[in-house]
Amino acid sequence: MSMVKFTIDGKEVVAKENTTILQAAKSAGIKIPTLCYHKRMNPIGSCGLCIVEIGGNADPMHACSTPVADGMAITTQSDRLLRLRQESLKLLLVNHPLDCPVCDKSGECTLQDLVFEYGIKDVECRAPRKSNPLVYATNLIKYWPQRCISCLRCVTACKEIKGIGALDMQTTPDGFRELAVNTDTCVSCGECLQVCPTGALTENVSRMKGRSFLVKKVPTTCSYCGCGCQINLNVLNNQVVSVTGRDDPGVNQGSLCVKGRFGYEFIASDQRLKTPLIKKEGKFEEAGWDEALDLVAKKFTHIKNENGPDAIGGLSSARCTNEDNYLFQKFMRAVIGTNNVDHCARL
């Protein structure tokens, strides 16, 4: 692929042919504001914030979908662009509630950041808004239609990243555009929540989510299966309050399944076992590790001597580490003397 030379704000830049202006600017360390753009999806072009001026063109162009060309002179900052971007933000705020202090997304909302950056202090025309929340396909995700800016990120992510297509936009009788969900195909993965730039989609599991600047983000690997998805545990007061996909080139590239994103409440459950249990006279009683392991060894030895090693089978799990699974199969084959080793994913 050939290379092209051009300038962005007077800075000479070289990029591959068919590279978009937005991609080229980012690689050159030049910031262009966006709301609807996401690096894992095709350009949407719904927010109108990434507009730039190109020498020889009368009208501004979308940087997210316009490819660079040899000799192109691009301007990303001007009085005209500032005014147009401010107008675009004001249009988004016509129906948007100014409830940032109580919004779950406060502190990590792209719209909030852009409104502050572009100095939007008031909106000349505010439309009346009816409180008419839709019933979402899952009780794991809360939908706030009044906060939706119709950027189509969630709809596009559901189609392009997940390949499901459970989301679409619909027009209400009042003339508003709101999210429509196909409850038969939605799998509650939360990809829509992950890419939403505002507080229109929020997690509905934890009652104490905490602000983004208050929680401690602990990077780790999801333990639900063997994929090795990279996640951030958002910890507040030593308790996991939410899980988000890590925005890095890991195996999952930020995506998660319903278990990885929402299945974290077991961590602080009071039903988790803290000590081994041994059944005595039909009831489980707490026991020490030495007593429990001695009992298991005694029972295994008895069964092996009476019925042979193949009377014993072992069931392993992808939720264990590779090292644990290796030791388990080695124990079954070398110590017990059987090849009866299976895996929970087969059941």
Q: What is the pLDDT of residue 127?
A: 65
Q: What is the pLDDT of residue 47?
A: 93
* Final residue belonging to a domain, choices 77, 92, 111: 77
Any domain includes 8: yes
The contacts of residue 143 (CB under 8 Å, 6+ apart) are 133, 134, 136, 179, 200, 201
55 and 136 both lie in a single domain: no
Euclidean distance between CA atoms 231 and 152, whole angstroms: 24
144 and 209 both lie in a single domain: yes
Q: What is the pLDDT of residue 346?
A: 62
Q: Nearest 5°: phi and psi at 312?
A: -115, 135
Query: How many domains does one find in the chain?
Result: 3
Residue with the two structure tokens 């660079």: 68
Q: CATH number for the domain including 141? A: 3.30.70.20
Are 233 and 240 spatial neighbours (Cβ–Cβ below 8 Å)?
A: yes
Q: What is the pLDDT of residue 129?
A: 64
67 and 183 both lie in a single domain: no
Beta partners for residue 14, in sequence order: 5
Q: What is the pLDDT of residue 247?
A: 85
Any domain includes 148: yes
* Final residue belonging to a domain, choices 217, 240, 268: 268
Task: Please provide the size of the chain in residues.
Answer: 347
Any domain includes 113: no
Any domain includes 298: no
Are 301 and 335 spatial neighbours (Cβ–Cβ below 8 Å)?
A: no
Any domain includes 102: no
Q: What is the pLDDT of residue 78?
A: 97
Euclidean distance between CA atoms 145 and 219, whole angstroms: 31
219 and 164 both lie in a single domain: yes
DSSP state of 38: -
257 and 159 both lie in a single domain: yes
* Final residue belonging to a domain, choices 220, 250, 268: 268
Domain coverage including residue 18: 3-77
> What is the pTM for the complete model shown?
0.84
Any domain includes 296: no
Euclidean distance between CA atoms 283 and 119, whole angstroms: 67
Work out the angle at residue 142's Cα, subtended by the Cα atoms of residues 101 and 176, and round it to the nearest 5 degrees: 85
Q: CATH number for the domain including 71? A: 3.10.20.740
67 and 197 both lie in a single domain: no
The number of beta carbons lying within 10 Å of the beta carbon of residue 57 is 13
Any domain includes 277: no
Q: What is the pLDDT along the chain (347 residues), one digit of tens a residue?
A: 789 999 999 999 999 999 999 999 999 999 999 999 999 999 999 999 999 999 999 999 999 999 999 999 999 999 999 999 999 999 999 888 888 888 888 889 999 999 999 999 888 776 666 655 666 778 899 899 889 999 999 999 999 999 999 999 998 887 778 899 998 999 999 999 999 999 999 988 877 777 888 899 999 999 888 888 999 999 999 999 999 999 887 899 999 999 999 999 999 899 999 999 999 999 999 999 999 999 999 999 999 999 999 999 999 988 888 899 999 999 999 999 999 999 877 64
164 and 260 both lie in a single domain: yes
160 and 216 both lie in a single domain: yes
Any domain includes 98: no
37 and 143 both lie in a single domain: no
Beta partners for residue 234, in sequence order: 217, 242
The contacts of residue 149 (CB under 8 Å, 6+ apart) are 35, 47, 92, 96, 111, 197, 198, 200
